[in-house]
């Protein structure tokens, strides 16, 4: 397979515009909010991150917390378009420390990493939105290789998918229909349907991967303490291993979009104006704050 040396210009511009749009929307949304507690951030006794890595991975449950979510415009009619979040993709890259970058360009943190359970074994997770008022509760139950969802206090469970593992390969069924299969080979991971291959990740060596999207091929690379994602977006680990910076390439200089630090029980992801998210661990709970407001609570019921 011939690998192009550079990304196609259109792909570069689309990725760049998506990241810029997310940053702008975050600033606009947060302009009416209080920031994170700056003193709390500055006084945090920072703990070291695990080294960054570049490893093809799978996250089939959509149980993630967004760091940078891509968007797309959908045409409603001849004169109206609607901007919506790009759906998660199950195939992507595990980058270490729970970070997952899917092949649709969404960067997130995996819930299974945060709550220390395996998404391949039985688990029950509860997500509470607006926890102080308990506005909405969603319960995820993975049992006998099937994922189901319910909305307490209602007990009715809705089937989402059934998975089958054969060696290193995974197939996901919706009733009797194959949704997709992910097949792991010696140097590649294939995402496919029943009749054809849709995407392939080729791992050339430990630190270089290529993603074949059929219309384009994108390069992913780990260089020292940096991981470069599709040529425009990259993550940098500090020399002491206690800070991760999410950056974008510019014509004259690189720009830091978010900074990520963590302590024993509290983690922070924030921009240059201290707008962002705080994560807090409490027993079996994981709390997510948008600036100073508690927005979501995740609870591990059983594993």
In a domain, 3, yes or no: no
Q: What is the pLDDT of residues 247-287, one digit of tens each?
A: 998 888 899 999 999 999 999 999 999 999 999 999 889 99
pLDDT tens for residues 37-87?
999 999 999 999 999 999 999 999 999 999 998 887 777 676 677 888 999
Residue 4 included in any domain: no
The set of residues, in sequence order, having a beta carbon less than 8 Å from that of 154 and lying 6+ positions away, is none
CA count, 13 A, side-chain hemisphere, 129: 8
Number of domains the chain contains: 1
Instruction: For residue 83, tell me if it sits in a domain.
Output: yes
Q: What angle do CA 4, 6, 7 make, to 5 degrees?
A: 100
Say yes or no to pLDDT of 123 above 60. Answer: yes
Structure tokens at 219: 């390069």
CA 256 – CA 236 distance, rounded (Å) = 10
167 occurs within a structural domain = yes
Range name among 23-27, 33-37, 99-103, 117-121 with the lowest pLDDT average: 23-27
User: pLDDT of 137-171, one tens digit each?
Assistant: 999 999 999 999 999 999 899 999 999 998 889 99
Question: Which pLDDT belongs to residue 31?
Answer: 42
- Give a yes or no: residue 106 inside a domain: yes
Residue 2: inside a domain, yes or no?
no
Boundaries of domain holding 140: 9-302
């Amino acid at each position: 397979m011939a690998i192009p040396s550079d990304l196609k210009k259109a792909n570069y511009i689309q990725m760049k515009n998506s990241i810029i749009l997310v940053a702008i929307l975050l600033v606009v949304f947060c302009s009416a909010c209080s920031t994170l507690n700056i003193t709390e951030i500055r006084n945090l006794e920072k703990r070291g991150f695990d080294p960054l890595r570049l490893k093809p991975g799978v996250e089939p449950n959509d149980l993630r917390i967004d760091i940078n979510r891509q968007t797309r415009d959908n045409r409603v009619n001849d004169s109206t378009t609607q901007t919506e979040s790009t759906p998660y993709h199950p195939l992507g890259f595990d980058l270490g420390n729970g970070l997952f970058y899917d092949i649709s360009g969404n960067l997130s943190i995996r819930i299974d990493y945060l709550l220390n359970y395996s998404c391949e074994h039985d688990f029950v997770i509860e997500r509470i939105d607006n926890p102080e008022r308990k506005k909405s509760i969603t319960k995820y139950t993975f049992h006998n290789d099937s994922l189901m969802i319910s909305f307490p206090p209602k007990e009715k469970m809705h089937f989402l998918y059934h998975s089958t593992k054969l060696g290193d390969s995974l197939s996901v069924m919706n009733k009797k229909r194959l949704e997709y299969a992910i097949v792991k080979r010696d140097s590649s991971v294939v995402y496919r349907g029943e009749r054809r291959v849709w995407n392939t990740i080729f791992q050339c060596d430990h630190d270089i991967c290529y993603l074949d999207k059929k219309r384009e091929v994108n390069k992913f690379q780990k260089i020292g303490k940096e991981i470069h994602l599709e040529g425009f977006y990259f993550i940098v680990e500090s020399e002491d291993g206690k800070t991760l910076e999410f950056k974008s390439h510019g014509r004259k200089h690189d720009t830091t979009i978010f900074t990520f630090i963590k302590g024993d029980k509290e983690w922070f992801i924030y921009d240059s104006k201290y707008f962002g998210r705080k994560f807090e661990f409490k027993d079996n709970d994981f709390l997510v704050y948008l600036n100073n407001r508690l927005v979501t609570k995740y609870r591990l019921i059983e594993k």
